[in-house]
Structure 1
Amino acid sequence: MWLNENVRGTLRRASHHRHISFLLLLASYLLLLTSCSNDKNTAQSRWWHSFNAKYNTYFNGSQAYIDGSLEKENGHRDNFTEMIPLYPVSNKNSKEIGKGNFNKAIEKSQKAIKRHSITRRPEWTKNRKKTERDIEWLNRSEYNPFLWKAWMLMGRSQFHQGAFDEAASTFAYMSRLYQTQPAIYGKARAWLAKCYIEQDWIYDAEDVINKMKRDSLDWRAVKEWDYTFADYYIHTGRYEEAIPYLKKVIKHEMRKKQKAREWYLLGQIEAALGHRDNAYQAFRHVIRQSPPYELEFNARIAMTEVMAGTKDKQMISRLKRMAASDKNKDYLDQVYYAIGNIYLSKRDTLKAIEAYEKGNEKATRAGIEKGVLLLHLGDLYWARENFSDARRCYGEAIGLLDKDRDDYEQLSNRSKVLDELVPHTEAIHLQDSLQALAKMSEDDRNAAIDRVIEALKKKEKEERNRQAEEEARKHEQGGENFDDIIPNDGPTPARQPQQQQQGNSVWYFYNPTAVNQGKSNFQRTWGKRENVDDWQRVNKTVVAGPADLANLTDEQRDSLEAAELIADSLAQATDSVQNDPHKREYYLAQIPFTEEQVEESNMIIKDALYHSGVIFKDKLDNLHLSEKQLRRLTDQYPDFEHMDDVFYHLWLLYQRKLQPQIADSYLDQLKEHYPESQWTTLLNDPYFEENARFGAHIEDSLYAATYAAFKAGRLTEVKTNTILSAQRFPIGDHRDKFIFIGGLAKLNDGDGKGCVEDMQTVVKDYPQSDVSALAGMIINGVNAGRRLHGGKFDMGDVWTRRSEVLQDSDSIAARVFTAERNDRFLFMMAYEPDSVNENQLLYEMARFNFTSFMVRNFDIEVEDIDGLHRMRISGFLNYDEAWQYARQLYKNEAVTRLLRKARMILISEPNLELLGTHYSYNDYDEFYEEHFVPLKISTVQLLTEPADLPVEPESVSPASEEQEEILNGGVLDDNTLIDLGIEPTPTTELEIPSESNEIPAEENRTPAEQNEIPAEEPVRPVPAPQQPAVVVEEPAATVVEPTTTVEKPVTTIEESTTTIEEPVQPEIGIEIPSDIIEVPSNDIEVPSDVIEVPSDILEIPSEPIKPTTPTVPTTPTTPTDEPVFEITDDPTETPAPSGTEIDIEDEYYELDGF
């Protein structure tokens, strides 16, 4: 019994001690959490937030970034027919790959910045003198030593998902945030330049590059600038300068597949410069990397092309062996394309065409490679004036190639012209052939028909064999239906491209290549058809609806049925022979034997000769072929019903060929045989030559003068000019407007009937005219019984117009303008619709708002009110803010140049309701001059403060997931502490750029070229003072949420130089070191309870540093100067720091080389 009580007492005491220990541990942990709030800036809080940012949110974000990069690397497909880009994201078809993972990385980065940003300045004794290093350290805006990597991760994720605008904003903001940290600043500026390059904002990229060339560059940023310079020189076509940097990029590259792509790109550049040996070696390096088979195959193809100049036969033999290989069955179009290129380089056009045609025949993929082959084949046929085959090639290629190609516009124009021309040329060829067959003897004719039938049978047999091979190949590949179920660790090289194509999950109608290809297939099968009902029928007039059949009588129905039975019986009798292209009867039925058939054939020829001749002259500028077609028409078919048109075009043709004597001969024939022709009247006009050269300008001037005379009431002048217009420009562009104004002028003479007749002429002859609707309204008014009255109108009256007329003084007194300056205001631009380039203005205004204001968002709205367009910018809290906005806007030349014909208005929201209704614009101008112009504007920069100031919580504690993270244990990774050269406002939070426009943009970014956003002028670091005992009286202004005044820190810190009491280490498995200044040695120590600033900062060097040139202040590392890298055009002059192989803080290592 005593033993049991003793045991129970011991257990109670032990339990009591465990409970006390647990409470003490919990209290210590809670004390640690409280002391690690980001409201405090101590070594302990800096360590805490650095640790949590790295191993919690940043880690998750980095893993998402790696997953997205792997997805993009594996899903990206290069177009090897063109120079491949350095970054896969440059291919617009690859931008959407990995977007979900990149968005997750961005979200995690923003979360890390929001939770772990430390912006409060550390405490400092007011009477303590500051050294250069003290000043640099105290002027930071961010004291979390790891957070720069979260910013970098966010910007890189935005870049690789193709959101270059957001990425540029992030890196621009980051470069200002870390402007005193040379390594981070240099990396951010390099990525900023790459964002501009990828958007083709070359001017902005050059601005960033040139400014960095003037500064010293930290050696840790050299790697990123090698990528930037390589990308820049490739985009600008300066290949000679790109090669050294691209070679450095290859050395830096950690990803094997990307390194193979970079070797291939280097080979393409060397080949473009004519360095065949260097290109050959570069392509060999591609194969040595063991890349995916598609890349390896294209490298082997490129090797044969660069060496074909001296070893033609050897290279062609090698390519034919590649074509015989089973694993290259899906790449035969590329193989024969390369063979054709070799023949073409030897000027053997016939063999080149033969190789291209074979590649087209054996192609199994409908991709860009086949499109390029067909494009070059079509060009060869075009040059040889074989327009029928050129049309075939162009028509198929246009559905396979991207619209962004430089030669796509030419391809599209040629295809359209050939679609119009080829039916005429083929009709001529067919009818000539049929008439030639009709003139042959029966034996020769039958022999010719038999040759055609044999060729048809041979072609059909080849097609059957090809389809059989295709089916056999599919059968051999077998379980393609199980590809999605059974994982395939090693796909065969031939299958890989198909799997990549099938992996593209873009919906058909969102894939422009697939849509264009479908259109081309439809046109090859059905021709060009209008989007109407019964488009399959050639003769739609025979289509009878059910209602028409119901109205027929019984006798009519019987006759129709009898006719249908007879037609069916005849068709069945002749289908077996005349509709079978394998029978002679099929061809004999088309040959014109009788005079009527020959005449019909000649009619087809004459019409085709005329239209093809005009197309050759006007759309192809091929005067030789045009002359051939038109001269044949005049010589062989002088009875052509439109011979006057032929003579006119021949006259124009010989005028262009500078043969006036021949041209005059056709003019004489035109006047002699067709005196009433419209062309005879036109050419007999004494002003014909003047009108041909300057007619459009003369008519424009005449109309402008007539309109001005109409507004001024000079009606006699209006009538005279209207008559002159009818004589000089009967088919002019402004003829409808002359008739309309002339009709209105008749009202002043009381000729209402003549006015209505002119309005009817406008509606009837010019239904698409701008004034046709007005003319129709006048006619409808007259028909409704309204009377016409004379008058005039002026577009300028819109500024004096108001839609409501007030009737009494009470209503006037109730609705008047207010002079309250604290109402919400708008900045508005009013203009006539055609006087301003509205799309360009909207773009420039959005860009101005985005780049000029970091913490304010202004809404832009365009509205159409009473014939005026009004662009409103809202979001101003009072008149002073709107005035400051307008003043800053007027300094932007890109915007002011667009607003020369617009009226700019500052107006409050209550006054806007009255503008244009109760009062005109001119009325408001008078009111504004009287009440607002004399006001004194506030000198405080109001637009630098947010409209809604955030309320900072009294205390912030880490999230629950972070509390769990600290208990996981582990060893704290070394961190380089990054400084900021901008002082924060202690009572505000750090703005975090996101994908929206909340990302602060750079300051002073007025574009020098109107369609580009130039990079900002970076804040150049000021050299440190030579005397170390300088006291900084005014801290730097904050970047994120600037205020007018910043309180100085007043907390006094006791200085202790003897003994520093070590704090008690919390029992959580992590040792907190002692407090020292954050140095790149990456040791982070916890300060004592008394000293907040490390003691080694206070050490004054024996001799102050005296810089001779303004350079970027370096991060305090060691007492010795840190080596710098000067960017020059010659990359061989790049100095490297001695004893330094790699940068342990290089984020590429944490992101698996992506």
Structure 2
Amino acid sequence: MAIIVVVLSGCSTQKNTAKTRWWRAFNARYNTYYNGKLAYIDACLEKEKGNKDNFTEMLPLYTVGNKGSRELGKGNYDRAIEKSKKAIARNSIKRKPEWNKSRRKTEKDIEWLSRKEYNPFLWKAWMLMGRSQFHKGSFDEAAATFAYMSRIYKTQPAIYGKARAWLAKCYIEQDWLYDAEDVIRNMQRDSIDWRAAKEWDYTFADYYIHTGELEKAVPYLRKVIKHEMRKKQKAREWYLMGQIQAALGHHTEAYKAFRKVVAQNPPYELEFNARIAMTEVMAKGKAKQMIGKLRRMAASDKNKEYLDQVYYAMGNIYLAQQDTMKAIDAYEKGNTKATRSGVEKGVLLLHLGDLYWEMQKYSDARRCYGEAIGLLDKDRKDYEALSERSKVLDKLVPYTDAIHLQDSLQYLAQCPEAERNAAIDRVIDALKKKEKEERDRLAEQEAAQRQGEGQNMETNRGRMPNPAQDNNRDAVWYFYNVQAVSQGKSQFERLWGKRENADDWQRNNKTVVGSIGSGIDEEELTDEQRDSIEAAELAQDSLQQVADSAQNDPHKREYYLAQIPFTPEQLAASNLLLEDGLHHAGVIFKDELDNLPLAEKHLRRLTDHYRDYEHIDETYYHLFLLYSRLKQPATAESYVDSLKARFPDSQWTTLLTDPYFVENAKFGKHIEDSLYAATYEAFKKDRFDEVAANASVSETRFPLGANRDKFLFISGLSRLNDGDAEGCVSNMKQVVEKYPRSRISEMAGMIVNGVNQGRQLHGGKFDLGDIWTRRAIVLNDSDSIKQVKFTPDRDIDFVFMLVYSPDSLNENKLLFEMARFNFTNFLVRNFEIQIEEVGGMRQMRLTGFLNFEEAYEYARQLFANQAVVRQTNGKAVPIIISTKNEELIGKPFSYKDYEDFYAQNFNKVELPKRNTLFEPADLNEPREPEKVQPIGIPEVDNQSVTSEAGENEETLEVEDDTQFIPIEEPSQVVTDTTATEPAKEDEPQADAPQKEPEAKDAPTEPQPETAPQGGNEGGSTNEGEPKEPAKEMPQEDAKDINVPEGKPTEQPKEPAKEPAKDQPSAASKDQPKEPQQEDNEGTTIAVDPTGDQPAETDNQGDLIEIDPEDEPAKPATQQPEEGTIVIPDEPETPPAPAVQPPSSSTPKTEKPQQDRPATQPQKPVQDQPQGKEDDEDEPEFFFEGDTPSSPTNSEDKETLDDGLDDEYYELDGF
């Protein structure tokens, strides 16, 4: 066991040897990374199985592009991310390898030494983490991961290229196309490594699809299809290829691509949509063949759920042949026979509505748009236009329907009776047929549902529901499901129409001012009022009694005959409906639809046939505007003349004869906005004369302006300054009556209601002094009030408050300074800060003071802080008050009352000498939380083993619940704090030429990362390498497992002592690494890292002979370099350097070896070749192809440097 502990202690991440790299790569791969890989595969399988594509639009290359599928697999992706972070945190090797300064550095050497991560496998953990974040939909996190990864592996082109490719994908999926283009352009300039070409094929295909450059996307998409390993994903990519080819007009290529989809044997939904798409891209001469094929598909029981798509495809074919009526018929069949309410049906209704819109059948278009808007995704490019069109139709259709109905009824009134009855019978027959079809359809649905429930009852028993089914809607709460909410809104609007989201939405008149007599008790009514109410109730009852009569049955002729205007009175009522419909429809056509011909048709019909219309003057005004837009000034002026002749006092006549009319028409909106802004500014600064003058200008020049209600409101408030309360109320009533839907109408109504209830109006602005003396309860002489008093108790809970008027200071900055003051000064106390608004004042309250003395001391220290004082700026009043007294502020007492009470009772209080602010509020010591042992077998963490082996050795320990955040640290030399500091200062300088630096580790070069156990390339044991245990390890394995010779198993932690002149220091024996010596050029001279020998032995290890000329003035005390704590994966690197066995050893110095306990019997060193003293024979670095001819053993190469193999294989192609 001791051997295992000692062996693993040499595998610390603080060491960079072939052994540590091999072990850390092995541990990362088969421990945490393996579990993360399994979680990632499970998540991808779940997403692949539950993904629902929208085949009416171009498919995204990655399923994460479907927003409805992003939540799938989230739990497993999170687990994969967590495991990746653990693998990175536990196995990252940042320490730079040790280098022989006498060896000239090649380009490969420079690349090796400039790396920021030396664990050859860890790049895969980075890649797994980034890919998991990407497929989870956390594109920002994934982009941060890949950007950081590209900085770590900047020197390794293959890994760098993969990371940059995924970074570009993250930008593309967020539609940050400029950033993606920048990454792509830079990579193309720097060239792309061939081992990263696969990732860049995916990236280029995705980029060109998102930018709409479909021609450029085709060749890359073909490469992607060749790379793809997942069968279902390959079928999706072939379908995407077909969509792109169809969009480019290459119907033959599109047809071939869709056939490839069917050949992949994909899920039925994908296969069905591919077959539908094949019919749409077939040659134009094969229309009948395509229609026949689609009809056979509609007759198949397998396609009952997809009938909307089948008939949609039929309609598209008819539309391509310019047969609009058959296309509409096909679309209508698809709408009525659809069994699901999905995006496919929404697209069908959208196209059907567009056809009705072009045919000016606005009622049918409104029906289609209203239903489609609840089925389509809000992210569609045309959704905003569709929504606006639907809103306009909601305004227009009631008027056009009224026009059509009244025209039909008046026509029937003039028809012969036989023709009239025949027309009515046709309507009744159509109604009965429609009702029968609806009953049959519902019966079929119920039968199919019962049959399906009977078949699935047994199979579904005990089975848990799959949240990924039903288009992923059951997995989301109703109010978070956008489509479900939209459908609910659409159904509500069909029943109730357009209503604002407000209380009492059922009421038509929601003004604050109630009608006369509302809310009056029935006992207070007069006899006449009671009689009128009873008469109204009787009339209502009489209407209800006719509910079953023939006149209310739409299946009887009497129902329709009752609506036909036969009498002059009925004809006059019908004409009123016609007049109103023609006027409003014409205005909507002109202003909102910009359909000037239809607007002219409706408005001219009104002026020609209904000259006595109530608002005919307004109609003339709109005709003037209409013909002005049609560039017919003579006709437009004729309507001005008509207004002058017939309606000289009309507001429209005044408007058109205004000399500023043309200027107002061009710039009136901006002029009125500027005028109102100036008026509001004058009102705030009490320039009431200016307010009155501007209000007069608004009344004369902009009587119909958009800000007219605001002018009335401000003008009314300004009149209070002169005591004109009646004028204020008059203005408020005008606002309520003329602008009931205005936002300001509610405030005006509240003022009117308050006056009606007897309240008095008074002017004035916000006054801090007024609020400071305000109280809700007026004190009187009653006994109950006299008993309520402030309490002078000081040993109860107190509150410190800053009271200030709203907007008088920067509240956020003050809050920040207060929080910073608390955090930096009171670490053991938790003062909670709350901001409230009480009685028109803002209060910043701090609670947690146990008595008055603590609150007072806090306030004293607070106002000694200049940052807080600058923020208050004298505009905040500090108050120290007990919680009991605080309850009385604003009720029986005011702030001013408490200020007087405080001055009388607290101002002369003697403060105790002991300051308890810096003591915990709870004097009992808090219990330390118990450490709960995790249930189950934890993953192997060899860092703990390392820490047991040597207590003085620094290790990187990460708890299981540690969250790892990749932050790149500067790659500067970090000195080892465990080195012998005293020895650095006092070691004699004269002995330096005669002896070598004290060493514990032989210079260790980076080893090849592919050998099973590791070892030297030559297959022989190098001089100075750590010797293997005599019994516990086979001979060939001992070449790479460095066991410190004679290293104690347990060393007490004591401060390093100054060593004697001719004796090795005790501290040097205890440290895992000795300092390295650095010459003036910055070349680091490594010392023995394994600790085999004491510093001054007979050169049993690889000690370095230093030329006296190159030796610095002082002994080596520079600490070994340490890299930044970063976490990479197995990089694509040049072959790792190998250790060349030295040709001769360094000379031995005759010094006795110091006695020390040994953990293992050491194998004697013998047959070591001796070299000359002037040769600095150290272990040297050689790369593959650069090594001298020496016998090599294939099994000596490390197996974990598996190069840059495609990670897709071990991730099952995901």
TM-score grouping bracket, smaller chain normalisation = 0.5 to 0.7
- Matching residue's letter, 1:520: S
SS where residue 914 of structure 1 aligns?
A: helix
Matched, 1:918 2:873: yes
Question: RMSD over aligned Cα, in angstroms?
Answer: 5.1
Offset of 1:758 from its aligned partner? Answer: 6.9
The residue correspondences of 1:1003-1152 to structure 2 (distance < 5 A) are: 1054=1002, 1059-1060=1021-1022, 1063-1064=1028-1029, 1072=1037, 1074=1039, 1096=1138, 1118-1119=1184-1185, 1145-1152=1205-1212
Offset of 1:441 from its aligned partner? Answer: 2.3
Offset of 1:552 from its aligned partner? Answer: 8.1
* Higher mean displacement: 636-645 or 987-996: 987-996
Q: Partners of 1:359 and 1:916 in 2: how far apart?
A: 67
Q: Is the 8 A contact 1:736 1:762 kept in 2?
A: no
Matched, 1:632 2:605: yes
Q: Is the 8 A contact 1:86 1:231 kept in 2?
A: yes
Which segments of 5 or more consecutive residues in structure 2 lack a partner in the other structure?
737-741, 773-804, 822-861, 877-935, 945-952, 975-983, 985-996, 1005-1017, 1043-1088, 1093-1100, 1104-1134, 1143-1180, 1188-1201
Q: Is the 8 A contact 1:253 1:259 kept in 2?
A: yes
Q: Partners of 1:1117 and 1:321 in 2: how far apart?
A: 69
Matched, 1:364 2:319: no
Q: Where does residue 106 of structure 2 map in the other structure?
A: 131
Q: Where does residue 459 of structure 1 map in the other structure?
A: 434
Q: Where does residue 90 of structure 1 map in the other structure?
A: 65
SS where residue 141 of structure 1 aligns?
A: coil
Q: 1:663 aligns with which of 619, 636, 649?
A: 636
Q: Partners of 2:811 and 2:730 in 1: how far apart?
A: 31
Matched, 1:254 2:224: no
SS where residue 865 of structure 2 aligns?
A: helix
Q: Is the 8 A contact 2:43 2:76 kept in 1?
A: yes
Offset of 1:74 from its aligned partner? Answer: 0.7
Q: Where does residue 268 of structure 2 map in the other structure?
A: 293
The residue correspondences of 1:99-498 to structure 2 (distance < 5 A) are: 99-479=74-454, 482=457, 485=460
Q: Partners of 2:528 and 2:679 in 1: how far apart?
A: 66
1:710-757 per-position Cα deviation (integer Å, ceiling 9, x unaligned): 99999998887665555434454566787899899999xxx8347995
Offset of 1:478 from its aligned partner? Answer: 3.8
Q: Is the 8 A contact 2:468 2:475 kept in 1?
A: no
SS where residue 122 of structure 1 aligns?
A: coil
Offset of 1:1120 from its aligned partner? Answer: 9.4
Q: Partners of 2:529 and 2:708 in 1: how far apart?
A: 52
* Higher mean displacement: 589-598 or 92-101: 589-598
Q: Partners of 1:370 and 1:361 in 2: how far apart?
A: 10
Offset of 1:696 from its aligned partner? Answer: 3.1
Say if 1:268 and 1:783 are closer, same or farther in 2 by CA, change over 3 A.
same
- Matching residue's letter, 1:435: Q
Q: Partners of 1:425 and 1:298 in 2: how far apart?
A: 39
Say if 1:393 and 1:1068 are closer, same or farther in 2 by CA, change over 3 A.
farther
- Matching residue's letter, 1:45: T
Offset of 1:987 from its aligned partner? Answer: 8.2
- Matching residue's letter, 1:1063: E
Q: Partners of 1:562 and 1:727 in 2: how far apart?
A: 47
Q: Partners of 1:125 and 1:754 in 2: how far apart?
A: 97
Q: Where does residue 695 of structure 1 map in the other structure?
A: 668
SS where residue 429 of structure 1 aligns?
A: helix
- Matching residue's letter, 1:135: I
Say if 1:871 and 1:155 are closer, same or farther in 2 by CA, change over 3 A.
farther
Q: Partners of 2:187 and 2:998 in 1: how far apart?
A: 38
* Higher mean displacement: 265-274 or 701-710: 701-710
Q: Where does residue 486 of structure 2 map in the other structure?
A: 516
Q: Partners of 2:725 and 2:968 in 1: how far apart?
A: 60
Q: Is the 8 A contact 2:1000 2:1090 kept in 1?
A: no
Offset of 1:677 from its aligned partner? Answer: 0.6
Q: Where does residue 1213 of structure 2 map in the other structure?
A: 1153
> Which has the greater radius of gyration?
2
Normalized per residue, the structure richer in helix is 1
Say if 1:164 and 1:481 are closer, same or farther in 2 by CA, change over 3 A.
same
Offset of 1:1052 from its aligned partner? Answer: 7.6
1:43-85 per-position Cα deviation (integer Å, ceiling 9, x unaligned): 2222222112111111111111011101100111110000000
Say if 1:515 and 1:620 are closer, same or farther in 2 by CA, change over 3 A.
same
Q: Partners of 2:1040 and 2:422 in 1: how far apart?
A: 105
Offset of 1:1117 from its aligned partner? Answer: 7.7
Offset of 1:666 from its aligned partner? Answer: 1.3
Q: Is the 8 A contact 1:174 1:185 kept in 2?
A: yes
The residue correspondences of 1:823-838 to structure 2 (distance < 5 A) are: none
Q: 1:646 aligns with which of 619, 630, 633?
A: 619
Offset of 1:206 from its aligned partner? Answer: 0.9
Q: Is the 8 A contact 1:61 1:108 kept in 2?
A: yes
Offset of 1:638 from its aligned partner? Answer: 1.3
Q: Is the 8 A contact 1:400 1:513 kept in 2?
A: yes
Q: Partners of 1:320 and 1:487 in 2: how far apart?
A: 39
SS where residue 682 of structure 1 aligns?
A: helix
Matched, 1:677 2:650: yes
The residue correspondences of 1:546-557 to structure 2 (distance < 5 A) are: none
Offset of 1:700 from its aligned partner? Answer: 5.2
1:1059-1104 per-position Cα deviation (integer Å, ceiling 9, x unaligned): 4267349969998585599xxxxxxxx999767998736699xxxx
Q: Is the 8 A contact 1:381 1:387 kept in 2?
A: yes
Q: Where does residue 816 of structure 1 map in the other structure?
A: none
Offset of 1:120 from its aligned partner? Answer: 2.2
Using CA pairs below 8 Å that are at least 6 residues apart, which structure has the higher relative contact order? 1
Q: Is the 8 A contact 2:7 2:1041 kept in 1?
A: no
- Matching residue's letter, 2:572: E
SS where residue 423 of structure 2 aligns?
A: helix
Number of residue pairs aligned between Structure 1 and Structure 2: 888
Offset of 1:591 from its aligned partner? Answer: 1.8
Matched, 1:604 2:577: yes
Q: Where does residue 1018 of structure 1 map in the other structure?
A: none
Q: Where does residue 837 of structure 2 map in the other structure?
A: none
1:890-937 per-position Cα deviation (integer Å, ceiling 9, x unaligned): xxxxxxxxxxxxxxxxx999333212533599xxxxxxxxxxxxxxxx
Q: 1:615 aligns with which of 570, 588, 593?
A: 588
Offset of 1:562 from its aligned partner? Answer: 10
Q: Is the 8 A contact 1:68 1:97 kept in 2?
A: yes
- Matching residue's letter, 1:910: N
SS where residue 168 of structure 2 aligns?
A: helix
Offset of 1:485 from its aligned partner? Answer: 2.9
Q: Partners of 2:682 and 2:763 in 1: how far apart?
A: 25
SS where residue 1153 of structure 1 aligns?
A: coil
Q: Is the 8 A contact 1:740 1:762 kept in 2?
A: yes
SS where residue 870 of structure 2 aligns?
A: coil
Say if 1:769 and 1:564 are closer, same or farther in 2 by CA, change over 3 A.
closer
Q: Where does residue 18 of structure 2 map in the other structure?
A: 43
- Matching residue's letter, 1:605: L
* Higher mean displacement: 143-152 or 367-376: 143-152
Say if 1:179 and 1:416 are closer, same or farther in 2 by CA, change over 3 A.
same
Q: Partners of 1:761 and 1:523 in 2: how far apart?
A: 36
1:742-788 per-position Cα deviation (integer Å, ceiling 9, x unaligned): 899999xxx83479957984796498569989x999x99x9989897
* Higher mean displacement: 479-488 or 671-680: 479-488
Q: Partners of 1:997 and 1:663 in 2: how far apart?
A: 74
Q: Partners of 2:277 and 2:54 in 1: how far apart?
A: 13
Q: Is the 8 A contact 1:356 1:377 kept in 2?
A: yes
1:156-199 per-position Cα deviation (integer Å, ceiling 9, x unaligned): 10000000000000000111011111111111111001001111
Q: Is the 8 A contact 1:312 1:342 kept in 2?
A: yes
The residue correspondences of 1:1-80 to structure 2 (distance < 5 A) are: 26-80=1-55
Q: Is the 8 A contact 2:335 2:345 kept in 1?
A: yes
Q: Partners of 2:1182 and 2:219 in 1: how far apart?
A: 32
Say if 1:426 and 1:909 are closer, same or farther in 2 by CA, change over 3 A.
farther
Q: Is the 8 A contact 2:114 2:155 kept in 1?
A: no
Q: Where does residue 893 of structure 1 map in the other structure?
A: none
Offset of 1:630 from its aligned partner? Answer: 1.2
